[in-house]
């Protein structure tokens, strides 16, 4: 099949496939007219890549899995190199989750404290527009209509 077809089947874009080829991750055979040609095997490799990408793998980190599949294994994680990547990513993941959990706790504490202070203290500087929604003042510099 050609590049557009593969992209559709894998739910990605031709640009992405060319990018993968440029990275050497998913090289393509060429037809006589220069068009890239792919087969079902490439679709499998591509599925593997996308799956790992969804897991948050960088492109380079999917390479051992792709190589493993290409070497004839039925699954991309049948090779030691892939397992190493799994273990490393797992450790990274734990570190990130731990860090985010800490941040979450700190932020939530900050929020609780700030909400408490906001409800307890009637604003000591009641003429400051920033503490109120937007009754009349226009002290916020240039126009700032951008609300998300």
Partner DNA sequence: GTAGACCTTGACCCTGACGTCAACGCCAGC
Partner DNA sequence: GCTGGCGTTGACGTCAGGGTCAAGGTCTAC
Question: DSSP assignment of 7-64, as one string?
Answer: HHHHT--HHHHHHHHHTTSS--EE-TTS-EE--HHHHHHHHHHHHHHHTT--HHHHHH
* Segment lying near a second copy (by CB under 8 A), choices 8-16, 28-36, 37-45, 71-79: 71-79
16 binds DNA (CB under 7 A): yes
120 binds a second copy (CB under 8 A): no
Residue indicated by tokens 């490393």: 88
Size of the site for a second copy (CB under 8 A): 49
84 binds a second copy (CB under 8 A): yes
Q: Please say which residue, 13 or 106, places its beta carbon nearer to a second copy.
A: 106
* Segment lying near a second copy (by CB under 8 A), choices 12-20, 32-40, 41-49, 86-94: 86-94
Token pair of 107 as six digits: 């932020």
Task: Name the nearest CA neighbour of 65 among 11, 51, 19, 93.
Answer: 51
Report the residue from 39, 40, 41, 58 that binds DNA according to the rule CB under 7 A.
Answer: 58
Q: Please say which residue, 35 or 139, places its beta carbon nearer to DNA.
A: 35
Tell me how crowded residue 78 is: count the other CB atoms within 10 A of its CB.
14
Report the residue from 19, 43, 44, 70 that binds DNA according to the rule CB under 7 A.
Answer: 19
Report the residue from 2, 4, 29, 132 that binds a second copy according to the rule CB under 8 A.
Answer: 132
Residue 147, classed as helix, strand or coil, is coil
Question: DSSP assignment of 64-87, as one string?
Answer: HHHHHHHTT-SSTTSSHHHHHHHH
Q: Which residues bind DNA (CB under 7 A)?
A: 2-5, 12-16, 18-19, 28, 31-36, 53, 57-60
């Amino acid at each position: 099949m050609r590049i557009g077809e593969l992209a559709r089947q894998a739910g990605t874009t031709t640009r992405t496939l060319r990018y993968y080829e440029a990275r050497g991750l998913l090289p393509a055979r060429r037809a006589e007219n220069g068009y890239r040609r792919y087969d079902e095997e490439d679709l499998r490799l591509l599925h593997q890549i996308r799956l790992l990408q969804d897991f948050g793998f960088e492109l380079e980190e999917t390479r051992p899995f792709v190589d493993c599949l290409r070497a004839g294994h039925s699954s991309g994680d049948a090779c030691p190199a892939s397992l190493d990547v799994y273990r490393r990513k797992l450790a990274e993941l734990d570190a990130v989750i731990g860090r985010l959990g800490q941040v979450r706790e700190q932020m939530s504490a900050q929020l609780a404290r700030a909400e408490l202070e906001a409800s307890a203290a009637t604003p000591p500087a009641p003429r400051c527009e920033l503490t109120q929604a937007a009754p009349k003042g226009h002290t916020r510099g240039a126009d700032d209509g951008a609300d998300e």
